[in-house]
Structures are given as structure tokens and as C-alpha cells.
Amino acid sequence: MTFILPDLPYAKDSFGDIISAETFDYHHGKHHNAYVGKTNEFVAADSSLSGASLSKVVQIAKDTGNAGLFNNSAQIWNHSFYWLGLSPEKQAPTGKLKDMIDDAFGSTEGFIEKFKAEGVGHFASGWAWLILNNGKLEITSLHDADTPITHGMTPLLTLDVWEHAYYVDYRNARPSYLDALLENSINWDFVAQNLDGNGVSRADQG
Ligand code: MN
């Protein structure tokens, strides 16, 4: 199948100074789009991949050691999941999710502090993740295009810590980018929806 660049689930100017329209133009319109184009080139050249869902392509690429296909297809999935986890309106975790956050991190502020530390401490390019592991919330980070969907982890939320995610708006200040998004721009409804274990399909295609 041919993968597509999914539309952003909000207007690209709806985050004000927190994420500029220019960042979306480049990050979604150029970077994410390039991963889609390159993945489609790999898929077009290999009939064994035809008809596979995006997450299946990612898994096949990992299993067969096809690094080029893995990097590009995993980056489609990671970016689609990232956009879905952001909200232009400030939200707060509620209900069962709030209880689980309090159990794991003490409070929502405790979560923000730990997630920010993970993202800031991650060396070079990658992604910070909130995952569900054996019924408990955990924070981790993965390098480059690596994705929790090939590690048996249940993804709940991610923030991109590649420089291209923040350089337009924050220059080299990764901590300021993480602060701004964690305090103002998390789609906690999306995070709660992923507690059912079906988070993989939410950014999947096909
Ligand atoms: Mn990115």
C-alpha cells in the first residue's frame, strides 16, 4: 500500500508561540513527509511488503535488519503518534489516568519533572516516551527512529527530542521546549485513550 502524510489534527497556527506554524511547516510538511516518501519507495520496490500496515512494515524492517526501511517507516509512526498527543488547548489528566500518574510519579508535576529530565538527558536524537508496562506507567527514551511498538511496550505519549522538533522556536534550548509542551500542550484525552492497549493502531495506517 501507499502510505500518506496524515493531516495535523489541529490548525498549524493554533499553538501560538509554543509551536510555531513555521515549525509545523518544516517538521510535518518536510521532515515527516520525507519519511513517508522514502518508505513508499522501499515498499514499491519490495512486493513482500505490499498490503502490510505501517506497524507491520516497521516490524518486518526490524526483523529483517532493513535499517533504511526501519528508520523511515518508524519515523512515520512516531511522528503521527506525536502529533496526536499534542493539544492546542491546555488539558489535565483526570480519572483513572490521574490516579495512575499519582501512583507512579506522585503528581502530575512529578510526572512533568521526570519526563522532562528523561528528554533533556537523552543524548542526541530520539524520543521520550510514557509507556504502560505490566499495568504501571513508566518513562523511557529511545534513540533515533526507535519505537516502543517493536519492543512490546504500550505507548501512551511521546515528545520528539530531535533538534528539528525545537530548533526553529527554541534554538538549542531543549529544556524550554519540553517545559512549554509538558505544561501547556499535552492531549491527556489521547493518553487516556491509549491505556486500553490499542495505542499502536491510533497512529497506524492500513
Ligand atoms: Mn521529528
Residues within 5 Å of ion ligand 1, judged at the Cβ atom: 160, 162, 165
Question: How many percent of the chain have pLDDT more than 70?
Answer: 99
**What is the reported pLDDT for 198?**
81
Give me the pLDDT at residue 206, please. Answer: 67
Residue in the block written with cell 510526572: 111
pLDDT tens for 123-132 read: 999 999 999 9
Q: Cα(103) to centroid of ligand 1, in Å? A: 30
Specify whether the CB–CB gap between 78 and 202 falls below 8 A. no
Mean pLDDT of 106-133: 97
User: From ligand 1's centre to the CA of 189, what distance in Å?
Assistant: 22
Residue 110 confidence class, pLDDT cut points 50, 70, 90: very high
- List, edge to edge, every strand of the sheet that includes 136-143: 136-143, 126-133, 154-160
**Could you report the per-residue pLDDT of 21-53, keeping only the tens digit for each?**
999 999 999 999 999 999 999 999 999 999 999
Q: Would you tell me the crossing angle of helices 174-184 and 108-121 to the nearest 10 degrees? A: 150
